[in-house]
Structure 1
Amino acid sequence: MPANIAIFALTKRGAQLAHKLAALLLSDCYVLDRYASESDIPFTSLKDTVADKFHKYESHVFVAASGIVVRMIAPLLKSKDVDPAVVVVDQEGEFAISLVSGHLGGANELARLVGDKIGAVPVITTATDCAGVPSMDLLARDQGLSIGDIGLIKHINAALLDGEQVPVYDPDGFLDISAFSAYFYVVDDVDVLSESCCGVVVDWRKHKLPERCLALYPRCLTLGVGCRRGVPADEILELVRSVVADNGIALESIFCMGSIDAKSDEAGMIEAAEILGLDLKFFSAAELDEIEVANPSGMVMKHMGVGGVCEAAAMKLADSTEILIPKTKSARVTAAIARKI
């Protein structure tokens, strides 16, 4: 079930159903002020309330006419990979319609859940669900893979709907398609994909792909960073981006960043991690000193009490004894990458 859900109701009867759903789904309940009870969050303007709350919740359930909901949310929609789920329920509780973000946002699942809770018929209109074929975006999401160009999903799903088998290049076996052999087949050479109308590549390495080939990135790499005092985020980001570009690494495959705890108050490092969308973890000198690094530094030992920061932090995060991309230096920043096995 989604972590946070907002429910909206506009009528007296709709408010009664919203109260029931809010109790069953442990949700916040927004009700037009003249029908709101003490437990509700009252509002006077649905347009203003939705505009304010739309991207603050993972999911929304509207007990309202679908036309009203479409008009309210249309200006707020960004992309299928970031929009929250939207489900519309009629005030009689007969239907639960998955309206927006059916796959990645989970609206299809939410519509089914609402249907189970109140006896409504879930209305699902996404083509792959109706046809009973797997959806590439759901497969990627459920297996923890980052989607490269979300716009390419349509080519993969269209091929599946047309009854075509889609080739998959996955050298390290990150995508489990064993249950979908009727829909996908594995190829051992990425160049083979140029012979197909579309294809899927699952790799932490960057590839130059044909126009309709979708890249999926396993979140399996860790980034270790060291820096001098007061280094701005831009300087850290410049080195990190240079390291991944020079080594053919997919930045999307890096899932966390680490350093020594002496840098835990470095604003530039904290900002860089936020910009990259990475969790940031700090280790003590004693923890890092447990790791044998390929490129120890006497200067780092003198000032930090440890032979190396970036390589040790990357390997510590990856729980690995091997470094994938050794320490690379700029004037005031060091970076290294390890791979989680």
Structure 2
Amino acid sequence: MYDKGRSMTDCGIWLVRPESEALALALQERLGGVLYRPWLDIATPQKEQFAAAYRQQSQWIMIAASGIAVRFLEGLAQDKHSDPAVVVLDEAGRFAVSLLAGHEGGANRLAYRVANVTGAVPVITTATEALKPLVVGIGCRKGVTAGQIAAAVHLALGERPLSEVREIVTIDLKANEPGLLDFCELHDLPLRVLASATVAARPWVTKASDWVQQNVGLPGVCEPCALIAGARGRLIVPKTALNGVAVAVVEDNI
């Protein structure tokens, strides 16, 4: 589910208000896409403009309230296999909501990409993903391979299958680590990236690592990452290290 940050030429970024332009430009710089500024056409209501443009892109990021997005989409959705993916991002950049064509159309994947760029929380509600109970936090040394990460993850999971993992979580310093990206892509797992400052604000670890403190500036990575992302869960596997990869697992409390 993580696609190494490739630019999206088939994505529309719909701004409802000019005040969102700085956020939209930041998204475009990192993700690509086409900006739509509907207020420039004062003769045509925005809803009509969006309806006319809806099928011109295969993915949409709407910077708007979810209620506005729902009204704009009224009557447009036809089939989850052919509808464009739609992600709604609030103007404060706090939540990236996979609203339409989440699994089949790629909106879930897009929500993670938007969240990782803006620092937002990805909101995924499709049963295929939402019912998976495990969050896996990962910290790793530079240059580790996908095979090394897979071995460490499987060690931490024990008899639990990868199919129960909802997301992989790491810090921004590891967002572009090739082995981690390859592992997530190979297993179709979403990668959630947390700002180091976010992790520093909740540096809970079972045992601090001098090496991580010296090289990353944090007492640990995998445990706080897993606990922040799995906020309603409990740590069922504390830091488990293997060959340069540290893994922690949180399970939802339902």
Higher Rg? 1
The alignment's TM-score, normalised by the length of structure 2, stands at 0.48
